[in-house]
Amino acid sequence: MQKITIISVGKLKESYFKAAEDEYVKRLKGFCDLKIVEIPQQLLPSHPTEGQIISALETEGENIIAKIPKSAEVIPLCIEGKILSSEELAKKLEENASFESGNLAFIIGGSYGLSNKVKTLGALKLSMSKMTFPHRLARIMLLEQVYRGYKIISGGEYHK
């Protein structure tokens, strides 16, 4: 079974985000071995300097890198990434599943994004949209799109 790891900076605090996450985790059980890893977000002052932001991103980046499964293909989510259709993401899932490891790690940064070191780990950088979304919502959107991708692959009725 394909292994999907979602490494995300920050916790889901809102009950409605947690309920949505729980629902997609339940739906994905039959399609993949899913693991969600939360990395602590570095605390910054209300008006951080660029140096403080870079330092926080580097610390978060090292924590992220430590949690990436060794055989995983890394896909960082970042604004400068490629926008894929649901069908294109499904194809990516299917292609990866055919490899020996069949292991994907999606990386979601915090409110200031991801360190350059983390971004360079991905042959594919993924963007959800040209619009900006809260990173907590991005996690739910990613889970939904992974679920949709598996339904596309299996020919299910969910994707229309």
For residue 159, name the pLDDT band (cuts at 50, 70, 90): low
Q: Between these two residues, 155 and 98, which has the higher pLDDT value? A: 155
Question: Helix axis angle, 135-154 relative to 86-97, nearest 10°?
Answer: 70
Inside any domain, residue 159: no
pLDDT digits (tens, 9 = 90+) for 124-133: 999 999 988 8
Inside any domain, residue 22: yes
For residues 157 and 141, what is the distance between their CA atoms, to the nearest angstrom? 19
Inside any domain, residue 69: yes
pLDDT score at 119: 97
pLDDT digits (tens, 9 = 90+) for 135-158: 899 999 999 999 999 999 999 877
Inside any domain, residue 86: yes
Read off the CATH number of the domain in which 68 is found: 3.40.1280.10
Strand order in the sheet with 126-127: 33-39, 3-9, 103-108, 73-83, 126-127
The β-bridge partners of 103 are 3
Inside any domain, residue 18: yes
Inside any domain, residue 160: no
Inside any domain, residue 83: yes
For residues 5 and 3, what is the distance between their CA atoms, to the nearest angstrom? 7
Give 123's contacts (C-beta < 8 A, 6+ positions apart).
73, 74
Q: Which domain holds residue 140?
A: 3-154
Total tally of structural domains belonging to the chain: 1
